[in-house]
Amino acid sequence: MAKSVRHLFLCLLLWFVSLSIAACGGAEVKQKSDSLSGADNNVSSDHLSKQALAQEKVKLFIGQDLNSIRHYAKSGQFPQPSGVTTYLSFYNLLSSNSPAYGGLGLDSRGYPTNKSVDWGAGPLNALALAKEYPKAILNIGLNIAEGNQSISWAEGGLAAISQGKYNREINKLANFFKSISNLVYLRIGYEFDGVWNKGYENTHNYINAYQHIVDKLREKQVRNVAFVWQGSASPIDDILESKHEDIAAWYPGDNYVDWVGLSWFVAADKSIKGKYTQRQLATELVEFARLKKKPAIIAEASPQGYDLTAMTQSNISPVWDGVAGDNVRPVTAAKIWQQWYTPFFKFIRDNREVIKAVSYINADWNSQDLWDVPFSNGYWGDSRVQMNPEFSKLWSREVSDRAFWLVQ
C-alpha cells in the first residue's frame, strides 16, 4: 500500500514538474515572438508599425544571393549587417524540379537540403541563409508573378492563390518560418507596379492573393514575420509603360501591411522625357508610408551602371541612356560616391523618422547569367563595395556610424 502511494506521489510530482516546464517554455516562446514583432494574430499591424517607427536607428541589410552576402561578411572590412536578403519562387515551393524547392531549402518531406537554386542571379537557399546568419533578419522577396517563373509555373496564378489552390505552398512557408529563429520581412509580390511582373497589373487579383497569404500565415500562428508591401519606384518602368500608375490601387489595407517598401537603382535626379525621377518616385512611397503611419524599407538598392571593381560607368538601357553596356568610361571612387551614394544616403537621413531599414545589393551582376552580356535586362555592373580599397573606405565610413545604422 505504501509502495503504491509512493508511486502515485512520484507520478503526480513528475506530472506537475512537466506542466511547470511546459508553462515556462510557453512563456519563453511567447516573449520571444513578441520581441520579434512578428505577425501574431493577437498583435495588430498598427502596433507592429508603431513599434518599428519608434526604432531610432536604421537597419542595414546586405543581399541578394548567398555568394554576395558571404563575400561581404567575410571581407572583415565592415560591421556585420543586421539583415540579409534572399528570394523565393512561390509556385515552385513544392516542385522537385527546383533543387532548393523554390529557393526555400526544404525538400518535399520538409527536410533540409543543402542544394541551392540559381535562376541566373546567384545561388539561393533561404534555410541555409537562416542557419548561417541566425541573428540576422531575413529580407525575403516572395515572387508570385504569373508566367515568368524560371523553373515552372502552374496555371491560375494570383486568382488561384486567393481561391486556396496554393494553400499547400503557404503551409510549407508557415512551417519554414516557424522552424527558424530569425525575424522575417516578407515582401509579397514585390515591385507590384513593375511592368516585368506579369499578373500584378490586375490590382484586384494582386490584393486578394496578398491578403490570402497573410491570412493563412496568421491562421498558422506564424509570429516571426512582418509583411512588406513593396513598389518598384522605377523611372524606367514609367518610361516603358508611358504612364505613372496610382500605387494606392495595389494597397492591400492597413491591417495587411507592416512595412512599405521600395527599390532604388538609378541616379537620384535624372529625368527622361519629363518622367518622374528616382528621388520623386521614392518620395511618393515614403510619403505614402508616412500617411499610413508605416515604417519604410528600401528593400533593394544598387548603383546600376557602375563597376566598382573596374571603376567604370556604362550605359544602363536604350530607354535611359543608350545601348546597355556601351559608352564605358573610367570614373573615380569619389565621383561614384558623389553621383550615386551621396544623394542616396542623404535621402535616407532626411527621412530617417520613416525609413527604418535599407537593403544594399552587394553583387557582381556582370558575372551572373541573368544580367551578363548581351545585357538584355539592362546593364547592372558590379556593386561590391569591398573590391576597391578607396571605395571601401568611403563605404566603411558611412556604415560604421553606429549612432545612425543598426548593425551587428
At 242-260, the pLDDT tens digits run 999 999 999 999 999 999 9
Burial of 53 (0-12, 13-18, 19+ CB in 10 A): middle
SS3 259: strand
- Inter-residue contact 336 to 303 (CB < 8 Å): yes
For residue 173, the model assigns a pLDDT of 97
- Spell out the domain ranges in the chain: 60-406
Residue 176 predicted with pLDDT over 70: yes
pLDDT value, residue 49: 84
Strands (E), 94-243: 137-143, 184-188, 225-230
Confidence of residue 47 (pLDDT cuts 50, 70, 90): confident
Specify the 3-state DSSP secondary structure of 307.
strand
Q: How confident is the model over 303-358, as pLDDT tens digits? A: 999 999 999 999 999 999 999 999 999 999 999 999 999 999 999 999 999 999 99
pTM here is 0.88
Read off the pLDDT band of 155 (50, 70, 90).
low
Q: In which band, very low, low, confident or very high, does the pLDDT at 24 lie, cut at 50, 70 and 90?
A: very low
pLDDT in tens, 198-235: 999 999 999 999 999 999 999 999 999 999 999 999 99
Tell me what pLDDT residue 154 has.
Answer: 55
- Give the integer Cα–Cα distance in Å for 58 and 407: 9
User: Quick one: what percent of the chain has pLDDT higher than 70?
Assistant: 87
CA R_g for the chain: 23
Q: What integer pLDDT is reported at residue 302 of this predicted model? A: 98
Query: Looking at residue 148, what is its pLDDT?
Result: 56
**pLDDT band of 273, cuts 50, 70, 90:** confident
> DSSP assignment, residue 312?
E
Stretch among 102-111, 129-138, 199-208, 373-382 having the lowest mean pLDDT: 102-111
Residue 153 has pLDDT above 90, yes or no: no
Q: In terms of DSSP H, where are the helices of 197-303? A: 203-219, 235-241, 278-292
Give the CATH architecture of domain 60-406.
Alpha-Beta Barrel (3.20)
pLDDT exceeds cutoff 80 at 16: no
Given a cut of 70, whether residue 144 has pLDDT beyond it is yes
Rounded CA gap, 252 and 236, in Å? 25
Of the candidate ranges 136-140, 151-155, 219-223, 345-349, the one whose mean pLDDT is the lowest:
151-155
CA torsion 270-273-279-281 (nearest 10°) is: -160
Give the three-class secondary structure for 188. Answer: strand
Q: Which of 86, 232, 87, 89 is nearest to 149 (CA)?
A: 89
Instruction: From 118, 222, 123, select the one nearest 171 (Cα to Cα).
Output: 222
In this prediction, residue 51 carries a pLDDT of: 87
pLDDT at residue 78 is higher than 90: yes
**Cell (9 digits) for 215:** 491570412
Least confident of 154-158, 237-241, 256-260: 154-158
Q: How far apart are CA 187 and CA 299, in angstroms?
A: 9
